[in-house]
Amino acid sequence: MSRDGGGLHTRVKTARGRTPQSTRWLERQLNDPYVKRAKAEGYRSRAAYKLIELDERFTILRGSRRVVDLGIAPGGWTQVVRKKCPKAAVVGIDLLPVDPIDGVTIFQMDFMDDAAPAMLIEAMGGAPDLVISDMAANTVGHPQTDALRTMGLVEAAAEFAIDVLEKGGTFVAKVFAGGADSAFVARMKRNFATVKHAKPPASRKGSSEWYMVAQGFKGRAADQPS
C-alpha cells in the first residue's frame, strides 16, 4: 500500500490472491470520503448518507411514526432513522443476519414471505407510514441483467408498500437509471401524490443507481388502472 499526491491518495498494490477488480474496490474504499465519514460517525455503511441527503431534499423522515426497512443489512439506513426519529417504531427485514440495533426489531426472513407483512405490522403496532429499501440484486456483471434483477426487487418492494402503507405514507427505493418501465411508473403515480427520482451526492458518479421517492400514498383503492 502506498500514497501519492502528498499523502492525499492511498494506492493499493495488487497482492497475491487479490484480483485487479478487488484491488480497485479496496483502493476506492480507502479513498472514499463517505466511507471515512461513516467510520468516524458510527454508521455501518456509507449508504447512510444517501438517505440523509434524500431526507434533506424530500423531508422523508420528519414525523415518521412506524418505519419498515426492507433489506436492512448492514443497517446504515435504519441507524439514520433511529437518529432522526428516535420515537418511531422501526422494524427491519433481510435474508442476511444483521447485528442488533438498539430499539429496532429485526427479522431474518424474505420480505416476500406471505407471513412477513403481518409480522412487521404487529411488531410496529400498526401500519407503517414509511417503507424504505436500499436493496439491489446480486450482480452478475451484465448491466442489463443486473438492472432487470434489481427492478424485480423494486417492484416487489413497491407491491409490499402498496399493500401495507397507511394513507399519506412514503415509499423510497433504489432503482437503476432507465430501469423502471412505463407501466410500473404509471402504477406508482396512480398510488402516490408525487413520484420523483433523485441521485444523492453520496451515490457514486460511476454508478447507475438512482432513488425513487413516492410520497402521499392515496390508499389501496387507488391501485386500479384508469
Tell me what pLDDT residue 29 has.
Answer: 54
Among candidates 111, 105, 50, 95, which has minimal Cα distance to 76?
A: 50
Mean pLDDT of 184-197: 95
Question: Does the active-site annotation cover 199?
Answer: no
Among candidates 50, 48, 38, 44, which has minimal Cα distance to 211?
A: 50
Which residue among 39, 84, 167, 174 is the active-site one? Answer: 174
**Model pLDDT for residues 58-113, shown as the tens digit of each residue:** 999 999 999 999 999 999 999 999 999 999 999 999 999 999 999 999 999 999 99
Task: Provide the pLDDT confidence category of residue 38 given band limits of 50, 70 and 90.
Answer: confident
Is the full-model pTM beyond 0.95?
Answer: no
Longest dimension (CA), the chain: 62
Q: Are 61 and 216 in contact (CB under 8 A)?
A: no
Percent of the chain with pLDDT over 70: 81
Among candidates 149, 156, 131, which has minimal Cα distance to 213?
A: 131
